[in-house]
């Protein structure tokens, strides 16, 4: 029993294995087989390899799944480059001392050789280091509404000390700078006559408005910051509209080297304003028609020179400048405009918005909080990643791995890890050859720290390199092509496996059309041959066979007919196989030409074929269905009464002399009669019985035809004579049979049913007491859904 089960289990396992291994060869799940050259093969998928063996069987695909090729191709001829990985630079984490550059990202440089569509994985670690350098540039709106308040002025002047002290707690590597802005000195944004200015600043003296001015370069002299701030606030200014030119200031502050941003530092602009900002297009109204060039242009006093030439920057221009400079912005703005800045901030990576109170009371706190928000967040961005799919995954500070490029709330000295997956699209190879080199930069937003990933993408095979190919090789039709990786790359105007076809004689489209039996059938030559200049050259049936497919479109297999005992189609003397069907030679017929057409054995004693009651097939009579005739020539008729009664007289006269025949008649008419102990049945022997004329006993006999077509009769020596049956037994039996037995059966049925009902009722009562059915859980209800799992299905597309 156990053996039986394990055998069955083995069978199932085997079937599964066969099914699964076959699916690898399945045309649909094998993406490789469409490639015509080694390079194409490399670009399809990393599971594909190329066989460059000379004389590789035509019927096999040179580009195939590696496991398949290993069975058919000489191992030394298989091209299947493996991806390689090199850590070029992986310096240790360092904190931001005053002299050394900080390192927060590990590793810093990687190099991969890989094929298109081949994903590569690596880990990227980020650690918040202490004393990371911070460059903070304060960009102040000097318009009347913002800076007029005496309280606010005092706070801004004190900012230098306050912020310096606060930041020292966070980093010992802190620089502070300061710039101011109002608006472009152009109508309709700003006033420039004294009357106009007086109108706009009713109480205090106003000075001429300016667009952007760099007041203090980034540095550690915080008192200079305060002095300059005081000077700037002494004469505030005013524009005419309620929006200012602050974004001009942002661009200038970011782009100007003289401001003194350090290469490796967290760059922060604190943008403080109470009004909206002008955007691209607005400048045109005043005559600044050129699109902002995003270039630094400051005069000796730090004023923006080109304010009247270039328009305000657009949001996307600001965003790209921020990215380029890896800078952050803290918008410290007043309540009535805070929502507008939130909308702007949504477009700017590395920006945050904070609400400034009326008299700038909370300015230091705000900078502190927002600095923490920027600092505690790490986000990666892939630059120069066209044709490359980059995926980041991280657990951040939790336990769940999710797809994200950003982690938040990191503490100092805390590290997070990202799983990065890069996949190169094969389009990167378009129009290129050999190895395509791509440098993807994984950039930490707001920090000038990167991981550079150099990808050497294999777009071609080594054997396609110019030093390995054979130009105008004799292997390619008298030098009409280049021989490389085992195949011919045809010169212009030629095509075909060995470049044997001339485009001017028959176009390749025409050629392919001619090789299709049905123009709508996409397979040329049924997939069993090569289309050579419009003609199919059929493959051999199997690898080591000399037999080939045949037919104009290789649609035929001349070796797929059934094999009889004498060979294909009964052997060479009987028939030949043509396109899967036996064509029989003369004298033979049948599926396998196994039948002789000779009908002599079907001739009945009457001289007709099968007694006219059948057909002669393959030298044998098939008697008509439904007719009473049977036998080798359809001459027998067991149910024909005439036959038995015809011979009865002869049978009877042996036993019951005299019967219907006299002794003389008997001897004369019945020459072949025998007495036997037991009648034997066999083909051609007919059983008969009949009632003897004299005593009414039943007589058993058989008759058969002898070779000379005479009849031989055999009679059983014992006969059966009737006895008188007792009447009572007959009547009793009849009554019992008709009435009593059915009655008994009915009673039994009723008894059994009652017993079962009683038991079920008892069970029901028992269950009823026991059951504590939860409401809604009906025990009788069965979910109509059920899940069936297909055991042969494998999620990974057959691999």
Ligand X SMILES: *[C@@H]1O[C@H](CO)[C@@H](O)[C@H](O)[C@H]1NC(C)=O
Residues of the shown chain interacting with ligand X in the complex, contacts defined by CB under 6 A: 53, 74, 76, 84, 86, 111, 113, 263, 325-326, 358, 437, 448, 456, 472, 477-480, 518-520, 606, 611-613, 629
Distance CA 318, CA 315 (A): 5
Decide whether 383 or 581 has the Cβ nearer to ligand X.
383
- Report, in Å, the least distance between residue 339 CB and ligand X: 15
Distance CA 394, CA 273 (A): 37
Distance CA 124, CA 127 (A): 10
- Report, in Å, the least distance between residue 518 CB and ligand X: 5
Decide whether 236 or 661 has the Cβ nearer to ligand X.
236
Distance CA 141, CA 180 (A): 6
- Report, in Å, the least distance between residue 624 CB and ligand X: 7
Distance CA 120, CA 420 (A): 8
Decide whether 53 or 128 has the Cβ nearer to ligand X.
53
Decide whether 20 or 319 has the Cβ nearer to ligand X.
319
Candidates 651, 643, 641, 644; CA nearest to 675 is 651
Residues contacting 220, CB < 8 A, separation 6+: 174, 175, 176
- Report, in Å, the least distance between residue 479 CB and ligand X: 4
C-beta pairs of 644-650 under 8 Å, 24+ apart in sequence: 644/686, 644/688, 644/689, 644/690, 644/703, 645/690, 647/688, 647/701, 647/703, 647/711, 647/713, 648/688, 648/690, 648/699, 648/701, 650/713
Decide whether 74 or 507 has the Cβ nearer to ligand X.
74
- Report, in Å, the least distance between residue 119 CB and ligand X: 17
Decide whether 331 or 629 has the Cβ nearer to ligand X.
629
Decide whether 263 or 681 has the Cβ nearer to ligand X.
263
Nearest position to ligand X, beta carbon: 612
Residue pair 182/143 in contact by the 8 Å Cβ criterion: yes
Decide whether 144 or 700 has the Cβ nearer to ligand X.
144
Q: How far is CA 432 from CA 84, 383, 427, 458, 521, in A?
A: 21, 21, 10, 11, 34
- Report, in Å, the least distance between residue 360 CB and ligand X: 11
Residue pair 554/538 in contact by the 8 Å Cβ criterion: yes
- Report, in Å, the least distance between residue 324 CB and ligand X: 6
∠ Cα 131 137 138 (to 5°)? 125
Three-state secondary structure call for residue 405: coil
Decide whether 274 or 589 has the Cβ nearer to ligand X.
274
Counting Cα atoms < 13 Å in the Cβ hemisphere of 143 gives 27
Decide whether 34 or 612 has the Cβ nearer to ligand X.
612
Decide whether 188 or 474 has the Cβ nearer to ligand X.
474
Decide whether 44 or 621 has the Cβ nearer to ligand X.
621
- Report, in Å, the least distance between residue 77 CB and ligand X: 7
Cβ neighbours, 10 Å, residue 554 = 24
Decide whether 255 or 311 has the Cβ nearer to ligand X.
255
Residues contacting 452, CB < 8 A, separation 6+: 108, 109, 110, 439, 440, 441, 442
b/e map of 521-540 (b: 16 or more CB within 10 Å)? Answer: eeebbbebbbbbbbbbbbbe
- Report, in Å, the least distance between residue 101 CB and ligand X: 7
Decide whether 38 or 568 has the Cβ nearer to ligand X.
38
Provide DSSP, 700-755: EEEEEE-TTS-EEEEEES--B---PPPHHHHHHHHHIIIIIHHHHHHHHHHHHHHH
Distance CA 501, CA 487 (A): 15
Distance CA 694, CA 139 (A): 144
Q: Kindly report the length of the chain.
A: 799
- Report, in Å, the least distance between residue 558 CB and ligand X: 26
Extract the tokens encoding 331: 């918008």
Decide whether 459 or 577 has the Cβ nearer to ligand X.
459
- Report, in Å, the least distance between residue 346 CB and ligand X: 23
Distance CA 182, CA 211 (A): 5
- Report, in Å, the least distance between residue 502 CB and ligand X: 7
Decide whether 455 or 531 has the Cβ nearer to ligand X.
455
∠ Cα 405 402 397 (to 5°)? 75
Three-state secondary structure call for residue 391: strand
- Report, in Å, the least distance between residue 245 CB and ligand X: 23
Distance CA 529, CA 539 (A): 5
Three-state secondary structure call for residue 200: helix
- Report, in Å, the least distance between residue 84 CB and ligand X: 5
- Report, in Å, the least distance between residue 683 CB and ligand X: 19
Extract the tokens encoding 461: 């095979």
Residue pair 675/696 in contact by the 8 Å Cβ criterion: no
Candidates 36, 518, 536; CA nearest to 527 is 536
Residue pair 620/599 in contact by the 8 Å Cβ criterion: no
Extract the tokens encoding 477: 């039709």
- Report, in Å, the least distance between residue 629 CB and ligand X: 6
- Report, in Å, the least distance between residue 134 CB and ligand X: 15
Decide whether 381 or 594 has the Cβ nearer to ligand X.
381
């Amino acid at each position: 029993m156990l053996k039986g089960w394990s055998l069955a289990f083995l069978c199932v396992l085997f079937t599964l294995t066969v099914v699964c291994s076959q699916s690898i060869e399945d045309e649909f799940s094998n993406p490789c087989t469409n490639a015509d050259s080694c390079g194409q093969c490399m670009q399809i998928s990393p599971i594909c390899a190329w066989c460059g063996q000379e004389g590789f069987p035509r019927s096999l695909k040179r580009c195939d799944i590696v496991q398949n090729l290993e069975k058919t191709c000489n191992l030394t001829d298989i091209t299947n480059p493996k991806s390689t990985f090199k850590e070029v630079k992986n310096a240790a984490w360092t904190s931001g001392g005053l002299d050394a550059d900080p390192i927060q990202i590990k590793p810093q440089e990687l190099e991969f050789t890989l094929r298109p569509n081949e994903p590569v994985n690596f880990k990227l670690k980020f650690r918040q280091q202490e004393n990371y350098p911070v460059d903070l540039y304060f960009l102040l709106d000097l318009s009347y509404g913002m800076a007029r308040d005496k309280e606010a002025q005092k706070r801004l002047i004190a900012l230098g000390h306050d912020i310096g002290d606060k930041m020292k707690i966070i980093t010992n590597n802190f620089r502070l700078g300061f710039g101011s802005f109002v608006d472009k000195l152009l109508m309709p944004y700003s006033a420039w006559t004294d009357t106009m200015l007086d109108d706009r600043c009713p109480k205090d003296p106003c000075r001429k408005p300016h667009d952007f001015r760099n007041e203090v370069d980034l540095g550690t002299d915080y008192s200079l910051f305060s002095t300059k701030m005081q000077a700037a606030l002494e004469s505030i200014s005013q524009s005419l509209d309620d929006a200012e030119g602050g974004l001009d200031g942002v661009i200038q502050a970011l782009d100007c080297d003289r401001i003194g941003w350090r290469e490796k530092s967290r760059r922060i602009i604190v943008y403080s304003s109470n009004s909206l900002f002008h955007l691209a297009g607005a400048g045109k109204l005043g005559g600044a028609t050129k699109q902002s060039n995003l270039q630094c242009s400051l005069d000796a006093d730090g004023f923006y020179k080109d304010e009247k030439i270039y328009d305000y920057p657009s949001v996307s221009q600001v965003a790209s400048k921020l990215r380029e400079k890896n800078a952050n912005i803290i918008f410290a703005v007043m309540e009535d405009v805070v929502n507008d800045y939130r909308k702007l901030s949504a477009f700017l990576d590395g920006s945050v918005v904070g609400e400034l109170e009326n008299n700038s009371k909370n300015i230091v706190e705000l900078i502190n909080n927002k600095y923490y928000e920027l600092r505690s967040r790490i986000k990666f961005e892939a630059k120069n990643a066209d044709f490359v799919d980059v995926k980041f995954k991280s657990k951040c500070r939790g336990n769940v791995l999710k797809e994200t490029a950003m982690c938040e709330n990191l503490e100092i000295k805390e590290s997070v890890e990202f799983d990065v997956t890069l996949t190169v699209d094969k389009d990167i190879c378009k129009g290129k050859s050999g190895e395509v080199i791509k440098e993807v930069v994984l950039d930490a937003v707001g920090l000038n720290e990167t991981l550079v990933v150099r990808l050497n993408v294999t777009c071609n095979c080594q054997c396609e390199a110019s030093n390995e190919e054979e130009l105008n090789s004799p292997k390619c039709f008298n030098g009409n092509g280049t021989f490389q990786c085992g195949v011919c790359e045809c010169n212009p105007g030629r095509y075909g496996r060995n470049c044997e076809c001339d485009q001017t004689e028959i176009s390749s489209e025409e050629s392919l059309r001619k090789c299709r039996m049905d123009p709508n059938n996409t397979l040329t030559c049924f997939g069993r041959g090569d289309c050579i200049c419009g003609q199919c050259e059929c493959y051999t049936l199997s690898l080591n066979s000399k037999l080939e497919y045949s037919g104009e479109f290789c649609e035929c297999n001349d070796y797929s007919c059934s094999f009889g005992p004498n060979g294909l189609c009964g052997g060479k003397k009987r028939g030949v196989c043509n396109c899967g069907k036996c064509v029989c030679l003369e004298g033979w017929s049948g599926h396998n030409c196994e039948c002789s057409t000779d009908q002599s054995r079907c001739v009945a004693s009457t001289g007709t074929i099968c007694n006219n009651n059948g057909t002669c097939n393959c030298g044998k009579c098939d008697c008509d269905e439904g007719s009473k005739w049977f036998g080798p020539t359809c001459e027998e008729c067991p149910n024909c009464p005439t036959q038995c009664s015809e011979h009865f007289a002869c049978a009877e006269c042996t036993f019951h002399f005299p019967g219907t025949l006299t002794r003389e008649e008997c001897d004369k008419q019945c020459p072949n009669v025998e007495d036997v102990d037991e009648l034997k049945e066999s083909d051609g022997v007919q059983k008969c019985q009949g009632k003897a004329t004299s005593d009414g006993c039943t007589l058993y006999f058989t008759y058969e035809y002898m070779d000379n077509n005479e009849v031989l009769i055999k009679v059983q020596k014992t006969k059966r004579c009737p006895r008188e049956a007792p009447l009572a037994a007959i009547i009793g039996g009849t009554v019992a049979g008709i009435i009593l037995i059915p009655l008994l059966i009915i009673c039994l049925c009723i008894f059994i049913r009652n017993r079962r009902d009683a038991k079920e009722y008892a069970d029901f009562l028992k269950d009823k007491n026991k059951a504590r059915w939860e409401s809604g859980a009906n025990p009788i209800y069965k979910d109509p859904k059920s899940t069936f799992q297909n055991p042969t299905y494998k999620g990974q597309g057959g691999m």
